[in-house]
Structure 1
Amino acid sequence: MCEMSAVPEQDLIEQWTSEQASLKQRLVEGDTEEWQRAPDFKGLERVGGVDLSYIKGDDINACAQLVVLSFPELELLYEDSQMVTLAAPYVAGFLAFRETPCLLEALQRLERTQPSLMPQVVFVDGNGLFHYREFGVACHLGVLSGLPCVGVAKSLLQVQGIIRSEEHLSQIRELKKGGDSFPLKATSGRVLAQALRSSDKSTKPLYVSVGHRFSLDTAVRLTHVCCRYRVPEPIRQADVRSREYLRTHFPSADTCG
């Protein structure tokens, strides 16, 4: 169970804004591991992915999923599917307070039971620094877990002057092959993310941002290496397995990520 007490939304927003600012002070931008600096990521052996899947029409109960894959093979080493109850409301810009406690619990269960399988990096289905206050769910999970994290979003968050303009669409068209990318720059001039064409076959970009203990260039490079399809394999496997868990346990329900 990942429950939070019922508090008026405005009070929650004030509380969360303060907590977010406090946690942000602990955020580390930049590579901290030797394997991050190696051209072939030598020394990286385990990559994690997390996701939550919901039953359509039910925004309280969800399946929290953690997978750990081998690197570079991207074969499954560990999976944890857990039904959770989310009592915190969805508020734009504060998704982490709704979802992170359950994802953190999954990582803590793994650390208690099979510490040798702890991931060296966690891919998060969501944003990191690419956020209203530069502290999205990937940052939140990274700081609380202490693990290097990368945020990977499938759609553009229109924030800090970054919009789905004709210029943006033109830049997407210029991504000719897998691995091509371009920076997303806020009105302040700060680069918050990279739009990445993850494979030759996929024309829709991913939006990659730093979560914790990563440089943006390394996050983009590792994301591309982990893509067999459009979405990096750790996130794709977490999504597939959480949906399958819901289909198995709630066969009459539709699911959504």
Structure 2
Amino acid sequence: MPDTPAEDLVKQWESVQARLRQQLVEEDTEDWQTRPGFLGLQRVGGVDLSFIKGDDVNACAQLVVLSYPGLEMLYEDSQMVTLTAPYIAGFLAFRETPFLLEALQRLQRDQPALLPQVVFVDGNGLFHYREFGLACHLGVLSGLPCVGVAKNLLQVQGVYKNEEHQSQALRSSDRSSKPVYVSVGHKISLDTAVRLTHSCCRYRVPEPIRQADCRSREYLRVRFPAADIGSKQ
């Protein structure tokens, strides 16, 4: 029997993932990553999408850039977007990455001096059952170091491979009893990703992601005051 459209799309996406996976760098590449106190790091980014509950198509795509180590807001970009790719487990990046990448490209075009030196992504990096999560996808396509930070430990289709080398649970704040799960996205080692994540936490979630989440939700609340604002679908 011929493949269904969904099967054809999965095969296409698997091919793209495999090609991008060959470009992934799992090591530190920037001078600031090996310096004491991350000397030379001045700008950290965070990205997220927020939805109106019951609507998994229209969302606010958010990019923030904070100073480092002060974690003060330097730049924000909130855009309403319409997701056209279907949701298929393991391929979330194909729904969300285009809009996050566009936000980074707008910043690079309009205010290149504010481009983040590393981007925190609300989701997994290598710690993903296909070993190529949203943080990897965005990292390779943008060329920027990326760190994946997941709030929940999700396992799909069995256990993760080489789990101990791909992610580390981090109790990021004394105020939180729940860990976050840090994994490599691109151009950063796991040890550096974990230390950097901890240094960016005022609460449980690192500040770049927390601010991206808060500001995208607020953007929706202002524009859709009667709606129930939800987290990422």
Question: What TM-score do the two structures reach when normalised by structure 2?
Answer: 0.95
Distance in 2 between residues matched to 1:223 and 1:190, nearest whole Å = 18
The answer to whether structure 1 residue 204 and structure 2 residue 178 are counterparts is yes
Taking every aligned residue pair, what percent have the same amino acid on both sides?
77
CA apart distance, 1:236: 0.2
- Aligned equivalents of 1:91 and 1:8: distance in 2? 12
What is the CA distance between 1:126 and its match in structure 2? 0.2
Find the residue that maps to 2:37 and give its secondary structure: coil
Distance 1:84 1:187, change over 3 A: closer
Deviates more, 1:116-125 or 1:153-162: 153-162
On the 8 A contact 1:161/1:187 being kept in 2, the answer is no
Compared CA separation, residues 54 and 187, structure 1 to 2 (3 A): closer
2:13 corresponds to 1:39: no
Quote how far apart the aligned CAs of 1:119 are.
0.1
Query: Residues 82 and 244 from structure 1, CA distance in 2 versus in 1: closer, same or farther, beyond 3 angstroms?
Result: same
Deviation at 1:161, TM superposition (A): 5.4
Partner AA of 2:12 in structure 1? Q
Q: Does 2:107 correspond to 1:110? A: yes
Query: Which residue number corresponds to residue 99 of structure 1?
Result: 96
Gaps of 5+ in 1: 1-6, 163-185
Q: Which runs of 4+ in 1 moved over 2 A?
A: 159-162, 186-190
Structure 1 residue 160 displacement after superposition: 7.7
- The match for 1:157 is 154
Checking the alignment, whether the CA contact within 8 Å between 2:127 and 2:163 is kept in structure 1 is no
Q: 1:247 aligns with which of 206, 221, 233?
A: 221
Give the equivalent residue in structure 2 for 1:222: 196
Give the Cα separation in 1 of the matches to 2:157 and 2:167. Answer: 12
The count of aligned residue pairs is 228
Partner of 2:27: 30
Counterpart residue type for residue 62 of structure 2: Q
Matched-pair contact (CA < 8 Å) for 1:197–1:205: yes
Tell me the TM-score normalized by structure 1.
0.86
Distance 1:218 1:188 in 2: 18
TM-aligned CA deviation for residue 55 of structure 1: 0.6
SS of the residue 1:57 aligns to: coil
Three-state SS of the structure 2 residue aligned to 1:191 is helix
CA–CA separation in structure 2 for the residues paired with 1:58 and 1:93: 20
Aligned to 2:168: 194
User: What RMSD over aligned residues (CA atoms) do the two structures have, in Å?
Assistant: 1.4
Match of 2:11 in 1: 14
Distance 1:86 1:113 in 2: 24
2:76 and 2:161 map into 1 onto residues whose CA distance is 41
